[in-house]
Structure 1
Amino acid sequence: MEWIYKIDDPLLETIFASFLIFLIIIIYTRIIGLRSFAKFTAYDFAFTIAIGSIISSILTSSTTLVHGAIAIASLLGLTFLFSFLQKKSSAISSLLSNKPLLLMDKDQILYDNLKKGRIEKSQLIAKLREANVLNFKQVEAVVLESTGDISVLHTSDKNIKLDKELLEEVRK
């Protein structure tokens, strides 16, 4: 039964470390801001994966709490630095961020863009259903966001027109 529980497992240390790392992440997030856990860019995604890995190492006792806290602070610092650089330089911004991709233009499915975004038609249709689209004619645009999410812009009122600014940065 040692595969279930070992007598020398540090259960109390794990509980205590979980509590402390939870507090540390809350404090860091309050200092740096919620943007640090957003998923806007590839580095945001990498950051989230790295944080999870560090927390796992801390909780399984392969990394000390202090070492893990410093690693998390370093990653948060890098996230802060990259977001600052991204605001200052469009070249860095385009290097770090994917541009959104138009998947549907009004009622027309853009099959070439589905292919570029590696999105199956069935996935697109599922997103339309999630957005309560009843008819393709309700669709103004469907966008594969830089985060990997799919946004469905639709209306039942044909008097409401889509603001062009909503598609400003979107690749056609």
Structure 2
Amino acid sequence: MQFITDIWTGAEQLPIYGFLVRALVVYVYIFIMVKIIGQRSMANIDPLDFIFGIVIGDILGETVSSGDTDIGGPFAGAAVIAFMHWFLTYVGLKLPLFRRVIENEPFIIIEKGQILDDMLKKCNVTIEQLLMELRQNDASNLNEIDYAVLEPNGQVSVIKKAPYNAATAQDIGLNPQNTGYPSVIIADGQLISKNMKKIMTRQELEKGLKAQGYTSIEDIFLLTVNNAGEWYLSPRLRV
């Protein structure tokens, strides 16, 4: 019982395993907090999410590295910060005018093929940074660009002039079938039964694998099937 108390309130001579338990508790707490707040894109973090991550890390980081720190206070502080983050996000969704206060707006930095140097200065974007973003968008030829927009997440979106857009199937008179979302049927040699049952029977799966030259599910690293019935199969590499 004393050990649990020391884990929560801290102790000057907290043993190594005490730090491990505290780290696990903090990790689970942050995980639950993020799940409650709601999933947002992790690929591109906006300023509000960035501030949340920094503050939460600063508040709870000390409880992991310092064995004599009481966990209760930092947990309560982190909960308040999480609530404020959720509240601002919620209000931003409901009130478009307030959304402009907490989120950046997109800025047009290339308009009708013309680079707007005043907007580059306003957004603190150098010409070298702009050219790098354009190259990453496969738009290194400035003559092909119609518009470029600096998005709230800091990335640049490019709209090319019509003649330079990739041709779609509809442009060339085709009417392809929608493929939908691919379901994972086998992952690292393990069958995902609930996904398989939505698409096929076990017998149909085994027949399909046999047609591809495989006799065992354990031989497959990844198998996905989309709504059009198309398979993607990657075998496991045996070392």
Q: Which residue of 1 aligns with 2:133?
A: 127
Do 1:99 and 1:146's aligned partners in 2 also have CA atoms closer than 8 Å? yes
User: Equivalent residue of 2:154, what SS?
Assistant: coil
The separation in 1 between residues aligned to 2:51 and 2:102, in whole angstroms, is: 11
Higher strand share: 2
Provide the alpha-carbon RMSD of the alignment. 2.8
Q: Which residue of 2 aligns with 1:43?
A: 48
Structure 2: gaps (5+ residues): 1-12, 169-239
Q: Which residue of 2 aligns with 1:108?
A: 114
Q: Which residue of 1 aligns with 2:80?
A: 74
The separation in 2 between residues aligned to 1:10 and 1:138, in whole angstroms, is: 63
CA displacement at 1:152 relative to structure 2: 3.1
User: Equivalent residue of 1:35, what SS?
Assistant: coil
Higher helix share: 1
User: Equivalent residue of 1:104, what SS?
Assistant: strand
Larger relative contact order (CA 8 Å, sep ≥ 6): 1
Q: Which residue of 2 aligns with 1:157?
A: 165
Residues 128 and 80 from structure 1, CA distance in 2 versus in 1: closer, same or farther, beyond 3 angstroms? Answer: same
User: Equivalent residue of 1:151, what SS?
Assistant: strand
User: Equivalent residue of 1:31, what SS?
Assistant: helix
The separation in 2 between residues aligned to 1:10 and 1:107, in whole angstroms, is: 64
The match for 1:14 among 13, 19, 24 is 19
Do 1:127 and 1:152's aligned partners in 2 also have CA atoms closer than 8 Å? no
User: Equivalent residue of 2:40, what SS?
Assistant: helix
The match for 2:37 among 8, 32, 37 is 32
Do 1:103 and 1:143's aligned partners in 2 also have CA atoms closer than 8 Å? yes
The match for 1:88 among 69, 94, 98 is 94
User: Equivalent residue of 1:132, what SS?
Assistant: coil
CA displacement at 1:112 relative to structure 2: 0.6
The match for 2:57 among 42, 52, 55 is 52
Normalized against structure 2, the TM-score is what?
0.55
The reply on whether 1:145 has 2:178 as its aligned counterpart is no
Deviations 1:41-81 (Å, cap 9, x if unpaired)?
x4333212101212322222274333222222211111111
The separation in 2 between residues aligned to 1:55 and 1:67, in whole angstroms, is: 10
The separation in 2 between residues aligned to 1:15 and 1:154, in whole angstroms, is: 53
The separation in 1 between residues aligned to 2:14 and 2:158, in whole angstroms, is: 49
Q: How many residues align?
A: 152
Residues 109 and 60 from structure 1, CA distance in 2 versus in 1: closer, same or farther, beyond 3 angstroms? Answer: same
User: Equivalent residue of 2:45, what SS?
Assistant: coil
CA displacement at 1:106 relative to structure 2: 4.1
